[in-house]
Amino acid sequence: MYFTFTKKQLTPTALITVVGIVCCLIMSGSGLYSTFYAKANRQLPIYYVKTDQKKIAISFDCAWGVDYTQTLLDVMQEKGIKCTFFTVEFWSKKYPEYLKKISEYGHEIGTHSATHPHMSKLSKQSIINELTTSSKAISEVTGITPTLFRPPYGEYNDLVITTAKELGLYVIQWDVDSLDWKDLSSSQIKERVIKRVKNGSIVLFHNQGLHTAQALPSIIDELKEEGYTFVTIGELIYKDNFYMSADGGQVKNS
């Protein structure tokens, strides 16, 4: 595609228009246009919190077992930190003693759905069912009603976000992925996390990560040395008077 202009046509206004058209064409061809405007217009979960304070939140997704859960609880007890566990309903019902123990140790519990489905493929009523029954399974054991929801596989769409909000749930993602589910070594997990953490980060682990419990003590120690404090996600996020940046950062209104 070519454009021809005379000198008289290239006024400042015309030049700005031409530059704008060219930029749009470049962005459209590269996919940047759709990425930018999709992020600007769609509903977003909370990936991290924009804050000047050196606070971060550790989280664990619980779906498939409990082999290392007690060790994780012992590590965090020893290090004096609290974190957030997201539990699937079938996990909560299979291991109620661990669900209760997590709560008794002072950690926060959010729902990770009822059946670990691809939430973005569900109808509104199915989403409601997933969130209400999984929350009920948690409250029946702990006496606490969850206020946080993490979509399985990190998948969501506008319907998932808005439905969760209607049910009083904050939708939580992460900005630091340990990739512990890939059975990375403890040193690899540590390297990934330490390099990526920033103020307001939410770190993703799994309670069944093969080397997560091994990696966690040194991760906590090093981040403490860097001046970070550890809080639950519920303590980290803003509950009201906020907006979402295009990259999923939760920003407090000034």
CA-closest candidate to residue 218, choices 207, 226, 209, 210: 226
Contact yes or no for 131/113 (Cβ under 8 A): yes
Candidate list 107, 112, 206, 211, residue with the active-site label: 206
Contact yes or no for 159/124 (Cβ under 8 A): yes
Q: Is there a catalytic annotation at residue 158? A: no
4-to-1, 7, 11, 12, 13 alpha-carbon distances in Å: 10, 10, 14, 16, 16
Report d(CA 48, CA 247) in Å as an integer: 9
Please give the structure tokens belonging to residue 144.
């606490």
Beta carbons within 8 Å of 74's beta carbon, 6+ residues apart: none
Please give the structure tokens belonging to residue 239.
């509950």
Please give the structure tokens belonging to residue 198.
């920033």
Q: Is there a catalytic annotation at residue 61? A: yes
Please give the structure tokens belonging to residue 141.
């054991």
Report d(CA 144, CA 106) in Å as an integer: 12
Q: What are the residue numbers of the active site?
A: 61, 206
